[in-house]
Amino acid sequence: MTVATRFDELKAMGDLPSPSGVALEIMRLTQREDTSIQDLAKAIQTDPALSGRLLKLANSAYLGVRRPVVAIEDAIRLLGMQAIRHFALGISVLSNCSHGRCEGFDYRSFWSHSLATALAAQALAHLDRAVAPEESFTCGLLARVGQLALASIYPDAYAAVLLSVPGEDESALIACERGKFATDHRELTGALLEDWGLPVIHVDGVTASYQPGLEDLEDTSRVQRLARQLHLAGRMAWLCVAQTADQPHCLAHLEELAPSLELDEALLGQLLEKVIQDWTEWGRLLDVPTQEVPSLAELKEGLQAKMKLQTSLPEAEFLPLKILLVSDDELNLKRLTGWLEDMGHSVMSAGEGNEGLSLVLSKQPQVVICERRIPGMDCLEFCQSLRETKFGQQVYIIVLTCSENGDEVVQAFEAGADDHLAKPFSARLLQARLWGAQRLIRLRQEVEREREATRRYLAELAVANRRLEQMAMTDSLTALPNRRYAMERMEQAWAEYQRNGTPLSCLVVDLDLFKQINDHYGHDIGDGVLREIANVFRSSARSSDVVCRLGGEEFFVICTNTTAAEALQVAERLRHAVKSHHWTVPGFGGNLSISVGLAASLEGMKEWDDLYRLADQALYDAKRKGRDQICMARASDGGG
Ligand SMILES: Nc1nc2c(ncn2[C@@H]2O[C@H](COP(=O)(O)OP(=O)(O)OP(=O)(O)O)[C@@H](O)[C@H]2O)c(=O)[nH]1
């Protein structure tokens, strides 16, 4: 069924909103070329309420009238027939349909929002005259009149539809309406405006304002400009009627849209202030409810304070982040930078993908916030390229999508994004999204800290173990390797000897009559003598000889790669060194000598301790023969 036939069908039901008889007469008169200002004034004066409202419009500050307009004829001259026609239409529909039978439809809120939209559209039209401001007023006032039509024709069914669609999700409402009524309020609005004789540009502008081509800002046609004005006007109106809790969301929307009409923050603030003031005055005049709305500056200030109060993480959990913004939208960059810096983060920015990539690598930000569409490189390509680098794998990436469009969001995640945010969004939402990044980064830092602590602990443990091992192998009195070490080292040397056949010798060295020293000088001085003699051995032995203390006054020297004859020279050197040593142990004034048992590896020896045993026996011989001498084990003594 075509739009026209469906509309005709609904029109036949007789419940559609309609202008008053006076308004219809005004419309008829203004369409005729021979209508005089006096005729039109007469028609208007038959409706005192309309006359008053018309004078109010004529005296509106926007028209810059120096003297107050008090006569309808002057108002007509000032405003022009076309504007009178629009105004009469809008105001009479409002008066005729200020209440109705649909219980789920809030007529007063509807007109409150519509009036704010009308005044905002009028204000915006003064900046860019896509159409005359008074015409823009009517377009704004009637931009959702299709809803009124559905509420009038299907009061019960429409109440159910409104209940089933949450909030201000217009696309969902339209889809639901179509399913139920085979038309929707957007289509009906267009049909009604056309039916009331509005020019095509107004009708098209209103219907396009539901989803204006914000992306395609190149399109500067009057319809598109009017559509953008009406869309922004609708958003300003939402801010006017919003409850305090919804104001941040409305403000974010407004700030997002403002650049599409080249409005900076100051101008947007001024406009909003004017709209709120007019809305309050007109509301009183038309018996439409209004409310107090804070100024843009107050709203922003309040939101920032609130944001700090309500949404900041406990101090212990807050982590200042290094953030890179990638966007070619100067205004957006400025806004996001302001928000993020207010939150306590440090921000850098790149205008396109390649610049973004090199900044990530050189400045190493922890978070990258990237527009879905960036010049130079597709955002998805940008994410993938980042993830291919070692550092880029750790960066937390948030992609700013233009909508909650499922495909777009999934693609962003597939390309490596950690999160996404559908535009427009508030500073509060952005801050909340960054908590995820902060938590993840803090966890990563904790893991890294723990890993570092474990590394340090293991290194300390290794040092401690080495020290323990050393202690376990070292004689505490002389710091020479102890018996345990001596035996292990001997085993190694024996294995080497067996493998390579290199000669191996060892010396068992014992101090002579040490008991007498202890008895004479005391045990402490005896200890000092043992310490000093260890040094004598250390300095007299070759660097390849391993001097150990087996215990008591007994020492052991392992002479690797050493024949018996060479070992004899070592033993002699030790004996001589001890004999000729000048003792420095305080209180000790005696002499000392040593006895040495020497054994060298012989063919046929099976175990390393055969060699040790032979040396020990040789020592016994040396003692027996009168001490202060070296005895070499003979082959016949064992082993070979
Ligand atoms: N001061 C001190 N004395 C020790 C230590 N270990 C063993 N001794 C003493 O060394 C002495 C060894 O005496 P003996 O085994 O009788 O032999 P000796 O007096 O050296 O006589 P010969 O070996 O036959 O020449 C004992 O008096 C032990 O108490 C020690 O760590 N410090």
Each residue's pLDDT tens digit, 62-117: 555 567 788 888 888 888 877 787 788 888 888 888 888 888 888 988 999 999 99
Which one of 227-231, 349-353, 555-559 scores highest in mean pLDDT? 555-559
Task: Say if ligand 1 is within 6 A of residue 530 CB.
Answer: yes
Candidates 135, 194, 371, 553; catalytic one: 553
pLDDT of residue 579: 96
Helix (H) or strand (E) holding 546: strand 545-551
What is the CA(523)–ligand 1 centre distance, in A?
A: 10
Give the Cα separation of 463 and 58 in Å (integer).
93
* Order of strands, sheet of 419-422, starting from the edge strand that comes earlier in the sequence: 346-350, 322-326, 367-371, 396-401, 419-422
In the predicted structure, residue 318 carries a pLDDT above the cut 80 = no
Does residue 367 sit in helix, strand or coil?
Answer: strand
- Select the more confidently predicted residue: 299 or 485: 485
Q: Which amino acid is at 580?
A: S
Confidence of residue 480 (pLDDT cuts 50, 70, 90): very high
Are 483 and 547 within 8 A, CB to CB?
no
Establish whether residue 526 lines the binding site of ligand 1, counting it when its CB lies within 6 angstroms of any ligand atom. Answer: yes
- Pocket residue to mutate for ligand 1, from 525, 549, 550, 553, most atoms within 8 A of Cβ: 553
d(CA 550, CA 542): 19
Atom in ligand 1 nearest the alpha carbon of residue 519:
27
Q: 518 CA to middle of ligand 1, Å?
A: 7
- The answer to whether the beta carbons of residues 311 and 430 sit under 8 Å apart is no
CA distances from 64 to 52, 78, 79, 83, 268 (A): 19, 11, 12, 16, 21
Contact 479, 548 (CB under 8 A): no
Q: What mean pLDDT do residues 176-185 have?
A: 89
531 CB near ligand 1 (under 6 Å): no
Q: What is the mean pLDDT of the chain?
A: 86
Does the Cβ of 520 fall within 6 Å of ligand 1? no
Q: What angle in degrees, to the nearest 10, is found between the helix axes of 265-286 and 296-306?
A: 110
Q: How confident is the model at residue 166 (pLDDT cuts 50, 70, 90)?
A: low
3-state secondary structure of 325: strand
ipTM value, please give it. 0.97
Nearest ligand 1 atom, CA 514: 20
Beta pairing class for 322-326 and 367-371: parallel
The sign of the CA dihedral 109, 115, 118, 123 is negative
More confident: 507 or 7: 507
Q: Do 137 and 122 contact (CB within 8 A), yes or no?
A: yes
Domains of the chain as residue ranges with CATH: 18-96 (no CATH), 98-291 (1.10.3210.10), 312-444 (3.40.50.2300), 483-637 (3.30.70.270)
Q: Ligand 1 within 6 A of 475 CB?
A: no
Q: What is the dihedral of CA 151, 155, 159, 161, to 10 degrees?
A: -70
553 noted as active-site residue:
yes
Answer whether 51 contacts ligand 1 (Cβ < 6 A). Answer: no
Predicted local confidence at residue 269, as pLDDT: 87
**Does the structure show a pLDDT above 60 at 306?**
no
* pLDDT tens, residue by residue, 232-280: 999 899 889 887 767 767 777 788 788 778 888 888 888 888 899 888 8
Work out which ligand 1 atom sits closest to the CA atom of 518.
1
When pLDDT is averaged across residues 559-575 and rounded to a whole number, the result is 97
Minimal-distance CA residue to ligand 1 atom 15? 515
CA of 512 to the centre of ligand 1 (A): 9
Q: Report CA(269)–ligand 1 centroid distance (Å).
A: 102
CA of 554 to the centre of ligand 1 (A): 9
Q: What's the rounded Cα separation, in Å, for the pair 401 and 142?
A: 32
User: Is 177 touching ligand 1 by the criterion CB < 6 Å?
Assistant: no
| CB of 515 closer than 6 angstroms to any ligand 1 atom | yes
